[in-house]
């Protein structure tokens, strides 16, 4: 008789790993494959690399493991879901978990935003939100409202909608067939203000550019404006106080929907459940992903106001109201991970904890201001961007060098262009903050 052993995938073993076939995303594949850095295990604030190094994770993986690595309760919830209901469709059918997760999510969203559409990623959330905005106006008979407005240096993922409203040239240039009818507002990174600590008073003047676009095109052609409350991927660009309020006033006045892309700023990153809560500005739609499942299982969500939902669902003729969705929208395994994650956030008070650590974090990261090559530092909540002067001819070279040297010293950071981006798990201790900053200080002083 033969017994079937469960397959072992040797998660932590590099034996027999062939690097050729996996085409890595947003990666210099040729360089990486000559100098591979493989992570093989993770727990709490640390990764373990294939050469046995312990790495302090100052990036929450990729802005996503907000509750720290290897949370047993999430693993148990995932295992239970896989064993009980591995998959169930949510097209014209249902199962309890996404309904429960949607109810829990609604509790931590701004008042009035409580209708949840599930996706599998931040990119899908961005495109879903944009389509929702178009469907909203269509359902109300405003069929000339098709224009979508984003921002320079905005990042809304890599699908065509998000790419088109996004404002990172490198991501866009190669792909000519983008969504039509898109405009971009300026980003909020002022050249004059350097070493800004946290939120600083300002005015909404940059937001008034929206009035210029309205004057140009007519409000009756504009469907939505999408912004990250704090731009993350472009290098931590914190808007002046008043900016988002002003955007809200202008959009409301002209019947334009306001979408906050909170894929990074959601789930405690800024010391509140959402950037909307932190800034005291309620948009019509919020996009989420990353921290929703603590990154254990891919999942995103789009949370809409009841007004947006009802206009589409109540206002459409009989039949399917929103011709949109994914096979895996509300996947049981992801929903189970999401429920367990929200429970951890709630029970451990992690959003408030991030807010409480923010002052210590700000002091620590700004202590690097006098290090060589540092031209700017910005922070908010448990996020920081440390901008380095570009090395002649090779933008990004210095930050990449810091990334490599930090890795060798047991610190994982993220380098994006000339900016070192830090976004540690919300469970970080004061000593670990000092360790991150101490290592960076040493590296910056030694940098050529
Ligand atoms: N939107 C924002 C604001 C992001 O920061 C990201 C990813 O970093 C995305 C969307 C895309 O998310 P994903 O990579 O899950 O598609």
Q: How confident is the model at residue 192 (pLDDT cuts 50, 70, 90)?
A: low
Tell me, in angstroms, the distance from the centre of ligand 1 to residue 239's CA: 19
Q: Please say whether the dihedral angle defined by the alpha carbons of residues 97, 102, 103 and 105, taken in this order, is positive or negative.
A: positive
**What's the whole-number mean pLDDT along residues 413-433?**
97
Looking at ligand 1, which atom is closest to the CA of residue 162?
10
Looking at ligand 1, which atom is closest to the CA of residue 62?
8
Task: Using alpha carbons, select from 237, 258, 238, 236 the residue that is nearest to residue 247.
Answer: 258
DSSP letter for 69, please: B
In terms of C-beta density within 10 A (0-12 exposed, 13-18 middle, 19 or more buried), how is residue 40 classed? Answer: middle
* Chain segment 62-111, per-residue pLDDT in tens: 999 999 999 999 999 999 999 999 999 999 999 999 999 999 999 999 99
Among protein residues, the one with the nearest Cα to ligand 1's atom 1 is 156
Does residue 202 line the site of ligand 1, with CB under 6 A?
no
Does residue 232 line the site of ligand 1, with CB under 6 A?
yes
CB-CB neighbours of 216 under 10 Å: 9
**What gap in Å lies between CA 244 and CA 299, rounded to an integer?**
27
ipTM field: 0.99
**What's the whole-number mean pLDDT along residues 331-350?**
98
Tell me, in angstroms, the distance from the centre of ligand 1 to residue 440's CA: 26
Looking at ligand 1, which atom is closest to the CA of residue 233?
5
Beta-bridge mates of residue 416: 419
Query: How far, rounded to the nearest angstrom, does the alpha carbon of residue 362 sit from its chain's CA centroid?
Result: 21
DSSP letter for 5, please: P
Q: How are beta strands 147-151 and 222-227 bridged, if at all? A: parallel
The pTM (predicted TM-score) of the whole model is 0.97
Radius of gyration of the chain (CA): 22
3-state secondary structure 382-436: CEEEEEECCECCECCHHHHHHHHHHHHCCEECEEECCEEEECCCCCCCHHHHHHH
The distance between the two most distant Cα atoms of the chain, rounded to a whole number of Å, is: 79
Tell me, in angstroms, the distance from the centre of ligand 1 to residue 171's CA: 13
* H runs (alpha helix) in 35-147: 60-63, 72-84, 96-108, 122-139
* Chain segment 358-386, per-residue pLDDT in tens: 999 999 999 999 999 999 999 999 999 99
Domains annotated on the chain, with CATH: 29-67+349-446 (3.90.1150.10), 75-347 (3.40.640.10)
């Amino acid at each position: 008789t033969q017994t079937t052993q469960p397959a072992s995938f040797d998660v932590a073993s590099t034996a027999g790993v062939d690097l050729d076939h996996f085409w890595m995303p947003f990666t210099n594949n040729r360089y990486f494959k000559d100098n591979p850095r493989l992570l093989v295990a993770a727990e709490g604030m640390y990764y373990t690399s294939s050469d046995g190094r312990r790495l302090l994770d100052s990036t929450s993986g990729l802005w996503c493991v907000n509750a720290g690595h290897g949370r047993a309760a999430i693993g148990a919830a995932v295992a239970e879901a896989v064993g009980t209901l591995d998959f169930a469709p949510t097209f014209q059918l249902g199962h309890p978990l996404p309904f429960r997760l949607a109810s829990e999510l609604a509790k931590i969203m701004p008042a009035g935003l409580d209708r949840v559409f599930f996706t599998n990623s931040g990119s899908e959330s961005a495109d879903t939100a944009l389509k929702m905005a178009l469907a909203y106006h269509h359902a109300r008979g405003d069929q000339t409202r098709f224009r979508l407005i984003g921002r320079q240096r905005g990042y809304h993922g890599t699908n065509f909608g998000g790419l088109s409203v996004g404002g990172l040239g490198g991501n866009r240039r190669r792909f000519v067939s983008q969504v039509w009818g898109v405009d971009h507002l300026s980003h909020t990174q002022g050249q004059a203000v350097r070493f800004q600590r946290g939120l600083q008073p300002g005015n909404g003047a940059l937001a008034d550019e929206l009035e210029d676009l309205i004057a140009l095109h007519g409000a009756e052609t504009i469907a939505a404006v999408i912004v990250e409350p704090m731009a993350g991927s472009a290098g931590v660009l914190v808007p002046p106080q008043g900016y988002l309020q002003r955007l809200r006033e202008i959009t409301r006045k002209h019947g334009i929907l306001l979408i906050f892309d909170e894929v990074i700023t959601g789930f405690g990153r800024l010391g509140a459940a959402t950037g909307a809560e932190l800034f005291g500005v309620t948009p019509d739609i919020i996009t989420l992903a990353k921290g929703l499942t603590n990154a254990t299982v891919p999942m995103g969500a789009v949370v809409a106001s009841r007004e947006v939902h009802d206009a589409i669902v109540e206002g459409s003729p009989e039949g399917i109201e929103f011709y949109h969705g994914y096979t895996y929208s509300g996947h049981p395994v992801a929903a189970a991970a999401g429920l367990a994650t929200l429970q951890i956030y709630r029970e451990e008070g992690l959003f408030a904890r991030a807010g409480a650590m923010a002052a210590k974090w700000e002091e620590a990261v700004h202590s690097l201001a006098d290090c060589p090559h540092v031209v700017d530092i910005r922070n908010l909540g448990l996020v920081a961007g440390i901008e380095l002067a570009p090395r002649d001819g090779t933008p990004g070279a210095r930050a990449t060098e810091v990334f490599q040297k930090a890795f060798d010293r047991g610190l994982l950071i993220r380098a994006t262009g000339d900016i070192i981006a830090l976004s540690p798990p919300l469970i970080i201790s004061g000593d670990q903050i000092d360790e991150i900053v101490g290592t960076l200080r040493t590296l910056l002083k030694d940098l050529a």
